[in-house]
Structure 1
Amino acid sequence: MDTHVWLAYVVTAIVFSLAPGSGTVNSISNGLSYGTRKSLAAIVGLQIGLAFHIILVGAGIGALVAKSALAFSIIKWVGAAYLVWLGIQKWRDRSSLTTQADSTELSAWSMMNKAVLINLTNPKSIVFLVALFPQFIDPAKDQLTQLAVLGVTTVAIDSIVMLGYTSLAAQMGRFIRSERIMMKINKVFGSMFMGCGALLAAAKS
């Protein structure tokens, strides 16, 4: 994979991980309830669930490339359009990121299992990865290597972001709970998603 393509993916993956979702809610909730250190098990669980999705999506894309270049191109265009649509939805999202501290102590194993299920049962991750991966894969090059690079990059970035959310929540929980702040965050990430989709579409034209 070319360096400039990988760097473009890094930027997009950062936006994907930073955007508030179920994994973010879990990380912030754990940070508020248990602090950063004990929440590390949950972050590991989120990445296990994400890695499972990446494997499923990667296998499907690899099979598609082998069978139909036209179908692969169509998915790339649909993926770019999806990023723009996702950005519009995020821009219009008025929901707040509400978390509640749970006084019940959970073991590290229980926290990890809970986090795995949170990501495994989140269909948005699969849909997003299906839309995202084809934008950065060259059908003429080795598919497995490219998918491995994208997968490892995704997990590494998401781990860092979730750790950041957890640490921030442990220190600034009340600020993050603010509905006004979350609406502004949604608009920022909505704009980023639309920008990524527009740039990808422009690059193909």
Structure 2
Amino acid sequence: KSWTAPAISLSSSIKSFNLKELKQERIHILTSAALLQVTNPMCIVFLLSLFPQFIDPKGSYVQQVSLIIAMFVITCWFVHIAYSYSAAAAADRWMTKNFSLWLNKISGFLFWLISVSILVKMF
């Protein structure tokens, strides 16, 4: 279906907000994203498996954990800022019908590659 899907322009599907709705929407997105990450078991397991190997048992536990958490949060923040600015900079090109057509063709081709690799591994 991806291969034959019609190209669409995403710029026509963007809705406009007034300032009050935009502020409420941002707050809602931020709080729901924060709640999702705090309750995400994969993130908790990852951090619990990653952090202990960088903690010196002879040093101050609170100071070391605080430093590791601060470094992790700052790194994640910079990565997400870079993602969002990259997406905003490329949005004009990504919302065209031409990009949608190429994206459909590439994703359709990748789905075919996945299915061929499954067939090859079965035999």
TM-score, normalised on structure 2? 0.54
Aligned to 2:56: 138
AA at the equivalent of 2:76: D
Q: 1:128 to 1:120 in 2, by over 3 A?
A: same
Encode CA deviations 1:42-65: one digit per residue, 9 max, x unaligned: xxxxxxxxxxxxxxxxxxxxxxxx
| Structure 2: gaps spanning 5 or more residues | 1-9, 111-123
2:68 counterpart of 1:150: yes
SS in 1 for 2:89: helix
Matched residues in 2 for 1:111 and 1:125: separation? 19
Aligned to 1:129: 47
Matched residues in 1 for 2:16 and 2:37: separation? 22
What is the alpha-carbon root mean square deviation over aligned residues?
A: 2.9
SS in 2 for 1:140: coil
Q: 1:120 to 1:103 in 2, by over 3 A?
A: farther
Alignment of 1:14-29 (within 5 A): none
SS in 1 for 2:71: helix
Encode CA deviations 1:76-103: one digit per residue, 9 max, x unaligned: xxxxxxxxxxxxxxxxxxxxxxxxx763
2:30 counterpart of 1:118: no
AA at the equivalent of 2:44: I
Alignment of 1:19-168 (within 5 A): 103=15, 105=17, 106-107=22-23, 108-168=26-86
SS in 2 for 1:164: helix
Matched residues in 2 for 1:152 and 1:120: separation? 16
Higher relative contact order (CA 8 A, sep 6+): 2
Q: 1:127 to 1:158 in 2, by over 3 A?
A: same
Q: 1:127 to 1:104 in 2, by over 3 A?
A: farther
User: Shift of residue 155 of structure 1?
Assistant: 0.7
Matched residues in 1 for 2:72 and 2:51: separation? 10
AA at the equivalent of 2:29: M
User: Shift of residue 116 of structure 1?
Assistant: 1.2
| Structure 1: gaps spanning 5 or more residues | 1-31, 34-100, 184-205
**Structure number, greater radius of gyration:** 2
